[in-house]
Chains A and B, each alone.
Chain A
């Protein structure tokens, strides 16, 4: 353990032993209000017909709300570097995963995409649209 963190922790515990605990009530209340505001905002904008911007706006609001929860409710703002690095790596991996997969769909040989999708020129089959349940598929039976 880093000696600096250790000292900080010991100081915190010494504080705690003397009953000096700072309440976060005000911070939490402000964050709670901000979260409610964000929900109202995303609700309102979600109902407007904003086209492609709807996704962007909704994601920006969701990320803001998520950051507030992580930073203040979960105290990531005052956490150790390791924890923040960990969460950063998680976000990076999600971004890379989504990026690669969408990049794959967007740039691959078009007939290799699912029929009826925006990235395919082939018409959708009836099952893709969820029409009648097709006959049971019997693959993998013993020959």
Chain B
């Protein structure tokens, strides 16, 4: 029963004469891709589409930064500016960050990691892809025809009275949410019912734990925003006035319902990122993961506690001080769970034989950003401090540290770590490290000045700003250009590697993760023959804990 692929690292992946074809070459027509129910092909289609969305969102971000080069109007008028920052937010949050890791890496790896041939409901999986396409198309259509100027948060009563095209974008968000629910539902059922013999709950790879926690949040939180965006779209179109203060409604109720989803959505974005990091840090430290159970439990802890902190977005919205106090205290718990993870990752690196490859370089950046972003997050969670920082660039910088610094860096770490798994080719390591350096430095240069500007009182979403903030804004824009260069570099060498990269062995990193026990790229049914049997733990590098204290790094 046991898989022999790991003991046969020379198994030629793509054009070898293996008895089973790799998923990439098994059927080459367009139809065989578009109607494929193979989770790996769906993941690759997601990869292409989501990266396109990321490109769109990134261009909008760059436009916003260029506009802020000078205090007054620079390249666009105020209304265009409102639309551009809204579109940046909507695209990045709903089209990129929320679906990115689950739909790409989760789809590709979760079934392989639990030793299954596919996700539980392959056709629903394909449907979720098409829901993403449909929702994204509708949202983008709305953006081209008018475009919203509400910010990605769609706060009422502005979003229900503005004359810009909000309703199609809201309906698009609803459809995207349905796609996300189907993905999450699929993952939960897959983990519950399709684990291979020998894989108990506490032998699941940590990426599976993270994806599972994410899926739970996705399934339980998304319906609420689904309802809210539908009501808001109905309000915008038919003026049903459910949140309209002129009719006796309460706009803060909208914010309650909105953040009941949108705060857990933060964990939809970062939990899978944490999962990637747990995999990467263990594989490149050549060491068993430190505190496996604590990482697994803290994943569930974050997923659960994340549902009870939404009110910290509304400290200055007229929320009661009692509620604000309670939310503030519970918010600190998220910091505790995240800190547990950070300590475990550091503990894993400690005493390990670090193999400083590109994914590990991203891990280093990630660690710094997640600590910095997390610490500013707990600071923002304090009511009295938030009153000063609310809706300033301090908040912008904080959540970009988590969204870009943590989630995006982990996404890139995963992309580089699993690139040979997905495509059977290697990228150039030197270029990889160059890209990682550019991204990390560019990120710091972009967002650290924003912390300072925010602390001095520069509000977010404003078209113009006083001249005293110009120096910081110029530095930030230069950083954004550096980030853009970094992404462009990565895009170039990865696309080059797709065709001309060195052929990868089936386990180029010598990783002990479950997913590396099959060929790279995997065959259509992941494993040849019956369900595999995994006797040992996923992150097992040394059977006995090494005496670490004697030879620390």
State if A and B touch, Cβ cutoff 8 Å. yes
**Which residues of A line the B interface, CB within 8 A?**
1, 82, 89-90, 93, 96-97, 100-101, 103-109, 112-117, 124-125, 127-128, 130, 134, 137-143
8 contacts between A and B (CB under 8 A): A82-B192, A103-B323, A104-B323, A107-B323, A109-B320, A115-B245, A140-B149, A143-B78
Query: B residues within 8 A CB of A124?
Result: 248
Residue from A1, A100, A125, A142 within 8 A of B323 (CB atoms): A100
Query: B residues within 8 A CB of A141?
Result: 163
**Which residues of B line the A interface, CB within 8 A?**
78-79, 149, 157-158, 161-164, 192-193, 195, 220, 224, 245-250, 252-253, 256-257, 260, 307-308, 311, 318-323, 326
Contact B163–A140 (Cβ < 8 Å): yes
B157 to chain A, nearest CB (A): 8
The closest CB in chain A to the CB of B318 belongs to A112
Query: B residues within 8 A CB of A138?
Result: 163
Query: A residues within 8 A CB of B248?
Result: 114-117, 124, 128
Residue from A93, A105, A140 within 8 A of B220 (CB atoms): A93
Residue from B163, B247, B323 within 8 A of A130 (CB atoms): B247
- Across chains A and B, which 9 residue pairs bring their CB atoms closest together, nearest first? A140-B162, A108-B320, A112-B318, A107-B320, A128-B248, A107-B322, A139-B161, A104-B323, A127-B246
Contact A103–B253 (Cβ < 8 Å): no
A15 to chain B, nearest CB (A): 21
Residue from A82, A97, A108, A116 within 8 A of B319 (CB atoms): A108
Query: 19 more A-B contacts (CB under 8 A) besides A93-B220, A100-B323?
Result: A97-B224, A97-B257, A100-B256, A104-B252, A109-B320, A109-B321, A112-B252, A114-B249, A114-B250, A115-B245, A117-B248, A125-B246, A127-B246, A127-B247, A128-B246, A130-B247, A139-B158, A140-B163, A140-B164
Query: B residues within 8 A CB of A89?
Result: 220
CA distance A139 to B192 in the complex (A): 50
The closest CB in chain A to the CB of B319 belongs to A104
Residue from A1, A97, A137, A143 within 8 A of B161 (CB atoms): A137
Query: A residues within 8 A CB of B245?
Result: 114-115
Chain A interface helix/strand/loop/mixed: loop
Q: Which of B157, B249, B260 has the most C-beta atoms of chain A within 10 angstroms of its own C-beta?
A: B260
A140 to chain B, nearest CB (A): 3
Query: B residues within 8 A CB of A143?
Result: 78-79
Contact A109–B158 (Cβ < 8 Å): no
CA distance A115 to B232 in the complex (A): 21
CA distance A54 to B86 in the complex (A): 46
CA distance A90 to B224 in the complex (A): 11
B73 to chain A, nearest CB (A): 12
The closest CB in chain B to the CB of A1 belongs to B193
CA distance A127 to B149 in the complex (A): 26
Given contacts A114-B249, A128-B247, contact A103 B78 (CB under 8 A): no
Number of residue pairs A-B, CB distance < 8 angstroms: 82
Query: B residues within 8 A CB of A104?
Result: 252, 256, 311, 319-320, 323
Query: A residues within 8 A CB of B158?
Result: 139-140
CA distance A137 to B377 in the complex (A): 37
CA distance A92 to B323 in the complex (A): 18
Q: Which of A90, A106, A112 has the most C-beta atoms of chain B within 10 angstroms of its own C-beta?
A: A112
Query: A residues within 8 A CB of B157?
Result: 139
A53 to chain B, nearest CB (A): 26
Query: A residues within 8 A CB of B321?
Result: 107-109
The closest CB in chain B to the CB of A112 belongs to B318
Contact B308–A96 (Cβ < 8 Å): yes
Query: A residues within 8 A CB of B256?
Result: 97, 100-101, 104
Query: A residues within 8 A CB of B260?
Result: 97
CA distance A10 to B126 in the complex (A): 31
The closest CB in chain A to the CB of B322 belongs to A107
The closest CB in chain A to the CB of B148 belongs to A140
CA distance A106 to B162 in the complex (A): 30
Given contacts A90-B220, A97-B260, A101-B253, contact A1 B79 (CB under 8 A): no
Given contacts A96-B307, A139-B158, A143-B78, contact A108 B318 (CB under 8 A): yes
CA distance A104 to B256 in the complex (A): 10
The closest CB in chain A to the CB of B304 belongs to A89
The closest CB in chain B to the CB of A97 belongs to B260
CA distance A107 to B149 in the complex (A): 33
A138 to chain B, nearest CB (A): 7
The closest CB in chain B to the CB of A139 belongs to B161
Query: B residues within 8 A CB of A93?
Result: 220, 307
Q: Which of A90, A100, A104, A137 has the most C-beta atoms of chain B within 10 angstroms of its own C-beta?
A: A104
CA distance A107 to B318 in the complex (A): 11
Query: B residues within 8 A CB of A106?
Result: 320
Query: A residues within 8 A CB of B322?
Result: 103, 107
CA distance A117 to B248 in the complex (A): 8
The closest CB in chain A to the CB of B308 belongs to A96
CA distance A141 to B246 in the complex (A): 19
Query: B residues within 8 A CB of A107?
Result: 320-323
CA distance A140 to B256 in the complex (A): 23
Query: B residues within 8 A CB of A103?
Result: 320, 322-323
The closest CB in chain A to the CB of B327 belongs to A100
CA distance A138 to B158 in the complex (A): 10
CA distance A100 to B310 in the complex (A): 10
CA distance A71 to B246 in the complex (A): 43
Contact A140–B247 (Cβ < 8 Å): no
Contact A109–B164 (Cβ < 8 Å): no
Residue from B78, B195, B246, B323 within 8 A of A134 (CB atoms): B246
CA distance A25 to B253 in the complex (A): 45
Query: A residues within 8 A CB of B249?
Result: 114
Query: B residues within 8 A CB of A101?
Result: 253, 256
B499 to chain A, nearest CB (A): 42
B275 to chain A, nearest CB (A): 21
